[in-house]
C-alpha cells in the first residue's frame, strides 16, 4: 500500500474514532464531572476497538477466516488468518470494556432511554 493511501486510511479511521467518542459521550452525558473523567479512558478505548473491529470485519469478509500456508513450498495447510485471531481477542476485550463502562452508570440514572440506546448500540455490533 502506498504511503499516501495509508495516510488517508489512518486519517479516516481517526475521524471515525472521534465520531464514535462523541456518540458514546452523548449516551453517558448523565455522568457528572469526576465520573466522566474516569469514563473517558474507557470511552476512548471502546471507540478505537469498535472502529478496528469494523475494519477487521471487512478484511475477514473479503479474505475469509483461514488461509493456505506453507513453510516449505510443498506442503500446504489451512491456518487461521491473523485478522481473525485479532478479531477474536478484540471482540472479547470490547465486550468487557463495554460492561465496565455501563457498570459506571448509577442504577437510578439507567432510564428507558439509556436502555434503548444501549440495546441499539449492542445490536449494531452484531
88: cell is 477474536
The string of pLDDT tens digits covering residues 18-38 is: 999 999 998 888 888 888 888
> Residue 69's beta-bridge partner residues?
77
To the nearest whole number, what is the mean pLDDT of the chain? 87
Q: Are 125 and 50 in contact (CB under 8 A)?
A: yes
Counting Cβ atoms within 10 Å, is residue 90 exposed (0-12), middle (13-18) or buried (19+)?
A: middle
User: For residue range 28-80, what is the model confidence (pLDDT) as tens digits?
Assistant: 888 888 888 889 999 999 999 999 999 999 999 999 998 888 889 889 988 99
pLDDT at 46 (0 to 100) = 97
Amino acid at each position: 500500500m502506498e504511503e499516501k493511501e495509508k495516510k488517508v486510511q489512518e486519517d479516516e479511521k481517526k475521524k471515525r474514532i472521534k465520531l464514535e467518542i462523541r456518540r458514546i459521550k452523548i449516551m453517558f452525558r448523565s455522568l457528572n464531572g469526576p465520573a466522566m473523567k474516569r469514563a473517558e479512558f474507557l470511552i476512548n478505548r471502546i471507540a478505537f476497538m469498535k472502529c478496528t473491529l469494523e475494519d477487521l470485519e471487512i478484511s475477514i469478509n473479503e479474505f475469509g477466516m483461514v488461509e493456505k500456508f506453507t513453510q516449505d513450498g510443498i506442503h500446504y495447510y489451512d491456518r487461521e488468518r491473523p485478522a481473525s485471531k485479532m478479531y477474536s481477542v478484540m471482540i472479547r476485550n470490547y465486550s468487557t470494556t463495554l460492561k465496565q463502562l455501563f457498570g459506571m452508570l448509577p442504577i437510578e440514572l439507567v432510564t428507558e432511554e439509556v436502555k434503548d440506546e444501549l440495546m441499539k448500540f449492542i445490536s449494531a455490533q452484531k
